Structure 1
């Protein structure tokens, strides 16, 4: 969507602070939204943690003179791994050290600021130019409820961005009903294929194994595990406090699900897939925490159309050496060339160099397999040579595959991925759900089916056409984004009127 010349509604000077949870899967869609806001004429401050901003380095050169990058500390030491196992610790630290720095920074942004740096001791920054007006709205990750609360306390309207699928959000919102019906907690040793009641619109469809991974905790009504309760509280609180909830989804994907979510929020905006509505180069440079390897693109250029299996399990998934071996053996047996993204920290208790060598050795031919530590994901997934996508079913990856019409083999790792995988296989029928199985024979069979099934390919192409209509001019997502831009513009008007009133009072006081 080209909004570069479309000013914000009402002619107000709009300045939006965008604050994602500090993980790749959360940063990506919120970076796309930031670019969309800047293209619509708003000034945008994108707030990283200090650790992530240092990690990005010079890559955060501004994509627009109206977009800049600032940061606050996450409260953890530099050497902290910040891995998937540390999510709860990261959240607690952000809610303490990050809260204090965020409040100070946001308070400072209520005054006009230079474009390059925020002017607050709590924040460091890069990018942008000129003068930024006072901040007029905050769009915070739905997990950062303190960011929403503090904004409203300071008189800044706040919106919540849920970066996961709508179907997983609805599952979390349904937790009280699941307890009431006795669906939670799961009994120890219970059948994970047992259907679950209590999630609206998914009765008889969702199984226990399809609910978000924290639901698999055991205990009584007061002990639902160390991960489930905090996430449920975050979602419930952010829905109650925020002026609106933003979802990175489309009507063609999750329209009926969104209808069940809407009564829980003041308003809901479905504006996805955002990556298909935002210019890729400008956004990717400011979003990727990993160094991207473009060397795989010439390798793909040399492959036949739809001949390559692209394998990427995301930025957080960790697998055992045994699981790695099963995946590798199944891929080799499937008989198709494959390109595998293997992060240095992905295979537990092993050396990444040895793992990469095992891929090459098992393939038996350097032309049959490619290995990179991180790829330019969007360019790879849309490459003509890619025939299917073996994925963790993270929401960003699921959306990207939907837009490009790529069949999926889903092996979800955690969080919303279990629910996404079920929808891929059972609702959209654009791929296969391989959750809870890591066996070479199953990998081989499912990869072959995804690569060779005309029925699956036809479903993926049909869905891709519909999603592209959603994001095109006049489509449902494009209209929703325009509505959101208008709402953000309207929010700026009372703040600026109040600021003018305060200035007039001060001026009259001085003159008297």
Structure 2
């Protein structure tokens, strides 16, 4: 009875950063909390919630969606180059309405069956969200949507500067080994560090690098850090991260543990017709191509990819977002190339696809990907070989793990050439060794998320942790030892 009461009293506000990849995995996380008997308020920005529309309908009476303004004009593009501006606007302009909403939810719930909010799980890239919660007496955790290996690299930034491994010259050898990230000394290269490390100076003044340094320092002070990962994939990296945090939970891949409808957190409307197209293709015959929700390429890069895919000779399904090819490029040339590719039913080009369904389809033989962490986990869970062409942030290090650590695919970073695309696609489709490694990892991941597996056990521990926080006396919350300043 006491355990049931604790679950009923626990009400978690989950607050992701307003990006597709962040919303995706935190939506699965919210579904897991609801499945464990907790109430969840999922907090979007107004802009994201409008884009979701009817897809944001609650799937449980214990899950609801709310939103706050992000402080930017409605017509602001909120594109990949605007990430720092968006997060800063949320911090400076969104924190006041966030504080007001959270305070009201803490005082009395809403009278509609939701108890008062007792805990906040905030995106680790938004430190203010955790800080505001603690300031008004609500215990908070942070959720990092990136891989453990990339978090470890961020934790090692100061060490990299001390060793003189960054910054490195723009014309320097990108294959020079990097020794300053523990556990990765034998395989990490300059080109595998987050792309912005190439732009930083002695003063570490690249805005993305500076944000990563500040965010990671904040995470170390948080009550706990949640990572969407599995011991079978990132055990060594996780072992180096854990001692640097107050507590840390490895609870993934969340999409495999707590499935939700594909549209539930999607800011893009998927072309469901692509599934019928896949139904008409032979087993393991199709190359699936998706570079995620933020990657932008030039018309020249698009052309190299297209020629390489056609030359490889396999049917392909390509996700080409409307905003993906640079706006200054020729729309007519792009349309002509797409039409040519789709002749004879050898290709299908769509604006967005239900990716988890696609990767689980029998017809898909390999995945050409930007190596975003969600995509990497989804491919790993299905045992699909990958060809990785990373764009930014943690994708560079993720792709190195795919090629050099797990052996589940090929790392094509820093190259956009039709001949290389053709060669790597063929190898990923035809290599028995890569496919065997991918399928072995998938079997291990399934064990991790099954009852009794490492991720399932960690999630159970996390739910207990949240329930314990939720039962704390309010005076204890207000006098928490959590320190906002270093």
TM-score range, shorter chain: over 0.9
Counterpart for residue 130 of structure 2: 148
Question: 2:42 pairs with 39, 46, 51, which one?
Answer: 46
The Cα shift of 1:302 comes to: 0.2
* Aligned residue among 356, 363, 386 for 1:408: 386
Q: 1:488 to 1:356 in 2, by over 3 A?
A: farther
Equivalent residues in 2 for 1:455-470, closer than 5 Å: 455-470=433-448
Aligned to 1:318: 296
Aligned-partner SS, 2:81 = helix
- 2:240 aligns to what? 260
Question: Aligned with 2:58: secondary structure?
Answer: coil
Change (3 A) 1:352 1:21: farther
User: How far did residue 229 of structure 1 move?
Assistant: 1.2
Distance in 2 between residues matched to 1:136 and 1:317, nearest whole Å? 37
The reply to whether residue 217 of structure 1 matches residue 213 of structure 2 is no
**For 1:353 and 1:269, how far apart are their aligned partners in 2?**
49
Equivalent residue in structure 1 for 2:76, among 75, 80, 95: 80
The answer to whether the 8 A contact 2:8-2:37 is kept is: no
* Counterpart for residue 432 of structure 1: 410
Partner SS for 1:100: helix
* 3-state SS of paired residue (1:371): strand
Q: What CA distance in whole angstroms lies between the structure 1 residues aligned with 2:474 and 2:336?
A: 60
Q: Which runs of 5+ in 1 are unaligned?
A: 1-5, 116-129, 500-512
The residue aligned with 2:117 is: 135
What is the CA-CA distance between 1:225 and the residue it aligns to? Answer: 1.6
Match of 2:484 in 1: none
> Residue 423 in 1 paired to residue 413 in 2?
no
Which residue is equivalent to 2:366? Answer: 388
Q: Runs in 1 of length 4+ with deviation above 3 angstroms?
A: 6-12, 350-354, 495-499
Task: Indicate the residue corresponding to 1:248 in structure 2.
Answer: 228
Output aligned runs, 1:218-237, within 5 Å.
Answer: 218-220=200-202, 222-237=203-218
Pairwise CA distance, 1:354 = 5.1
Cα 1:112/1:286, change in 2 over 3 Å:
farther
The verdict on how the C-alpha distance between 1:354 and 1:156 changes in structure 2, with shifts beyond 3 A counting, is same
Change (3 A) 1:40 1:135: same
- Listed as ranges, the matches of 1:4-15 within 5 Å are 10-11=6-7, 13-15=9-11
Preserved CA contact (<8 Å) 1:250 1:273: yes
- List per-residue Cα deviations over 1:288-310 (Å, max 9, x = no partner): 00011100011000000000000
1:327 to 2:280 alignment: no
Secondary structure, in 3 states, of the residue corresponding to 2:406? coil
Alpha carbons 2:8, 2:39 under 8 Å: kept: no
Partners of 2:143 and 2:11 in 1: CA distance: 17
- Write out aligned runs for 1:364-375 (5 A): 364-365=343-344, 367-375=345-353
Verify: 1:275 aligned to 2:271, yes or no.
no
**Contact between 1:244 and 1:266, CA under 8 Å: does it hold in 2?**
yes
- TM-score of the two chains, using structure 1 as the length reference: 0.90
CA–CA distance in 2 between the matches of 1:74 and 1:258?
A: 33
Take 2:310 and 2:338, find their aligned partners in 1: how far apart are those partners? 9
* Root mean square deviation of aligned Cα: 1.7
